[in-house]
Structure 1
Amino acid sequence: MSAQPDGRTHVRRVAASIEEILGPGAHREPFVHGDGKSGVRMERVVVDGQRYVLKHLHVADDWIMRATGDLAGRPITLWRRGLLDRLPDCFDHATVGAAWDDRPEGRGAVVVMRDVGEWLLPEGDVEIPLDAHLAFVDHMARLHTTFWGFRDTVGLLPLSQRYVWFGPHLADVERARGSTAAVPTRLVPQGWDRFAERAPDAAPVVLALLEDASPLVRGLASTPATLLHGDWKAGNLGRDLDGRTILLDWAVTGAGPPCAEIAHYVCLNRARLPQSKDATLRAYREALERHGMDTGPWWDRQCALSLLGTLLMFGWEKAWGEDEGALEDLAWWRARALDGAREL
């Protein structure tokens, strides 16, 4: 299969049912991922002595699927279209199969993964080892250079939607459905109220873009794009014995600016970074250059806009921090929001 910059090649079959893909005699038991917030159902499975994990994808269960308009399951699309097969060899996505799992309320699916739990980063705020951190940053750059110029033709997360799914509509929709999930119904709306109080300089810019992100999207669309995994948080990361990066949970994948990925990484992993955010951004730029990309013509604008965009996604979360490190972090992001506003 040739390495096309889009996702049109259809190379993988999705099984008709879970039973078809697992076969008889599979032992299944549910579990809760410690880092999970979406409401998605997970199971551990043993088949012929081999351990697997099932991730159930159904819009009725998963508020992130609802918020991002994912009616079919993006991980299934990536599997069907062979995009996971085109990842650089420094990655292990762990996916070995997929199956449809329809229910009366709509289409659903299941992703089958090898159980790689022992190789994932530990839960909590344990600092990421420097060698692992630098490997993650380098491998991120390899992912982006591999898919440089990516065009989404298969229905992944559009850039216009990436930055607004934590907006004010989220709580309204989830409450109307009767949801009691803490993140969408309480933490996000209250977090935005706190953000307005704690970031009075940045809040007018961020909250206005949450209502209409088109200036940000237009600015980023004028810079280079690639395939984004979309959620490089520590809970999705690990390293295997060969030094490959284990990268799980491809639920918010889509075309977008490469700097959005490293901005997301420094945002959600703030307490675990062995380097400063600025040093991590420099390391990522150096890795892009090392892998053949000339960043000079576009880096400053894209990086500034991507950091601003990340605050549209997680400004609410930054406003909850109380300790000294969290307050310093919020001050850094406030300054980045103002930098980004000047690039609109």
Structure 2
Amino acid sequence: MESVKIGKRDATYRMNGSSERERVEVNIMKKMTNIVLLASLLVFSLGSSAFAFSDLKGSPDEAAIQSLQEKGIVEGMDGDRFAPNTSMTAAQGVQLIVKALDLNLGKIRFIRAPKASDSFTKAKDDVWYSESFIIAAMNSLPIGRDIDPQQTLTREQFAEWLHAAVEKTGPYPVVNMFVNIADQAEVTPGSMNAIQVLLLTKIAKLDDASKFNPKKPITRAEAAVMAYNAMEFVAKHSKAEEPATAPSEEEGVKVIVEKQSDELNKVTLSRGLQPNPGYGITIDRVDYVSDSEAVAYYTLRKPDPDKMYPAVMTEAKASVTVKAGYKVTAKPSK
């Protein structure tokens, strides 16, 4: 058999040819990868823009509902339709409230896993709303045991549930006022406080005729906007901000002196408006430190963590009688 000799030049050519093919293949792979990446980005971009609800264009509620959608709190009814004017069902309302207020089971421990049907006779287990119903029950939302998840929600029902959910994340300061409602005679007495609080906190509002329309079915848009407003309220007045509103021992208090008689004055120590009646002040003693000066020693009281307090702005103050003619200052007790 005849042997074939390969010279150095031939070997070099073959090696160079092999390297060239490899470079071409690498370049082709890079181009294919770039094409795939560009296609993926294009699909993502188109998908994001198409996900906006088409039936909210130009609506004053569009921004709020869009924000809820981006947070995964609301979804469309079908395709890209939100159906803003459709009445909301109890199942939809419970899920909206639970998600918007971020209610959860916290550190609750169970002997066995809870079911929605344990608390609600008409609720089904292992369906899309089941978990939200369990969370609502564990957080004591005022939902009747016989609620039908598919029934239409009224505006006052939704208001009562939403108010209870907001309270679960509080307490929050609320001005002690009463909002006049043109159709207040139609409001169920047990729902009036919830409606008043939601109106005072701007979570809900009356219509142009100053009516709340309590028995009217709440629409998906109305419920979504109220839930969004509740989220904004909680974020603005969260518990994390509470210490800033409560004076510390070192901040001192205001001293108010009123003449009681020619011999005595009424001295009031005030720490101003507080988020709830749990914040107080106690005058421990009054020391007459000179012929013209007296010191009122006080202790500031904080809310008892084991008690519930109404979320009403309350002035924390205490009074004591002091001899006339003395200049009174206030100091915290040691």
TM-score by length of 1: 0.24
Q: Which has the higher contact order (CA 8 A, sep 6+)?
A: 1
If each structure's helix is expressed as a fraction of its own residues, which one has the higher value? 1
